[in-house]
Structure 1
Amino acid sequence: MLLGHSLQDLMAPGRCVACRRPGSLLCPQCADSLARPRNDGAVEGIDRTLAAWDYDGAARTLILALKVGGRRAAAGPPAAAMCERARAVGIKAGVVTWVPGRRGDQRRRGFDHAEVLARLVAAGLGLPARALLRRRGPARLDQTTLGASERWINLHGAFIARASPTPVLLVDDLVTTGATASSCAGALQAAGAPGVEALVACRA
């Protein structure tokens, strides 16, 4: 569901992705409407989970433009907000990585949206960005089709990680139940990461 926005709307240049006004990708009025979650919440296996926005309104439309519309430029506003959030609280990470997307989604879109976010965040925070995670085993079910408990079962052992001698900042677009982030954190810690913090654009 695209909240009244067609795929053409999400891809159209020269208009705000949220209200469709001519001009910038995100107009000042829609930017002002973005809300930060009142509670960042806790995710199993992660030292701290930080979210820039609630997954609603203009924030949701931006993420859809990135993931569904394939607009790389839509990663700019959330990445900037994520950097601002990370600087405000301070992070311990020495490296940034991302939740690797499903291969079929990457082929369809032409890029990994979480990687685009992570590299922008890393540049903004002055940290290196490295591909520390990959998916393993047979293709898993699409998380969006599953209930909360099914999501945790579906992603058990779904990721394998490269070693990191420094704490890791794990980047993704969205956290819902935390199952994906928790599975990634478990793999990173099993590979020797001394700590994992998560930074996402939105909390659902």
Structure 2
Amino acid sequence: MPAVPDLLRALLPRRCPGCNRQLGREAGLCASCRAGLIPRLEAHSPLSARSAPHLVTLGPYRGVSRRAVHALKFGGARDLAGVLGGALAAGVPAAWQVGAVVPVPLHSRRERERGFNQAALLAQAVAAALAVPCVPALRRTRATAQQARLHAHERTANLAGAFQADARRLPPGPVLLVDDVMSTGSTLKACRDALQAAGVGQVYVAVVAR
């Protein structure tokens, strides 16, 4: 059954989070903003090895992507997850042969406060578009300080030992790790390392914005 805020969003006049235009029957973003969500492979990132692309994004954290992530994460606009996740999935190369999609987890306390994990919603949409399972194979073993409030050199220490993976839940093949935003890449690297320590061979990454 839809939550009350979701019902209110469906009944009230809505504006596009990307450009503030009045929305018609579109879900999440207007057609113009959707057209601007162009996935790209990034060879040069903290997650890439030997310049081989391991990361797909919808571009820099600005403009439509920034406003859309903010509306999803803090405005409760959950319908944006389908739009953003679908756009991300369109940029995942078939050559990656992704077997499962794994969301970056929130600590249980923070997820209760927010009411949902935006990375999980995005991962579900990506997995549906790729026709592979979405598996919550990662968990946070402890709460951490918010990465955005830390200096770059503090972020790795903040996340040390913060994630644990259960690879038994995953099918064979490469894994696609999904989050909303990447800044220094510390969180994604910690998650990737946890998955690989649990026996996952290849981990690719998809984020809405960098």
Classify the TM-score, shorter chain: 0.7 to 0.9
Greater Cα shift, 89-98 or 174-183: 89-98
Deviation at 1:30, TM superposition (A): 2.9
8 Å Cα contact 2:165-2:195 kept in structure 1: yes
- For residue 70 of structure 2, give the secondary structure of its aligned residue in structure 1: helix
Following the alignment from structure 1 to structure 2, what is the Cα–Cα distance between the partners of residues 184 and 13?
39
**Percent of residue pairs bearing the same amino acid type:** 39
Q: Is 2:52 aligned against 1:49?
A: no
Q: Could you list the runs of 5+ residues in structure 2 that have no partner in the other structure?
A: 1-8
Higher deviation after alignment, 40-49 or 108-117: 40-49
TM norm structure 2: 0.82
> Runs ≥4 in structure 1, deviation > 6 angstroms?
none
Q: Deviations over 1:54-97 (max 9, x none)?
A: 2111111110111101111011221111011114x632321111
Whole-Å separation in 2 of the counterparts to 1:35 and 1:81 = 7
> Given the alignment of the two structures, is residue 179 of structure 1 paired with residue 186 of structure 2, yes or no?
yes
Higher relative contact order (CA 8 A, sep 6+): 1
Alignment RMSD (CA, Å) = 2.2
From 78, 82, 85, the counterpart of 1:79? 85
The worse-fitting range, judged by mean Cα deviation, of 17-26 and 60-69 is: 17-26
- CA distance in structure 2 between the aligned counterparts of 1:13 and 1:70, rounded to whole angstroms: 16
Aligned residue identity for 2:141: R
2:88 matches 1:90: no
Query: What residue in structure 2 maps to residue 145 of structure 1?
Result: 149
Which residue pairs with 1:62 in the alignment?
A: 68
**TM-score where L is the length of structure 1:** 0.84
Matched residue, 2:3? none
Where in structure 1 are there 5+ consecutive unaligned residues?
A: 1-10
CA distance in 2, matches of 1:176, 1:193: 24
1:110 to 89, 109, 115: 115
How far apart are 1:45 and its partner, in Å? Answer: 7.7
Equivalent pairs counted in the alignment come to 191
In 2, are the aligned partners of 1:36 and 1:54 still within 8 Å (CA)?
no
Of 6, 17, 33, 1:30 maps to 33
Q: 2:174 aligns with which of 167, 180, 183?
A: 167
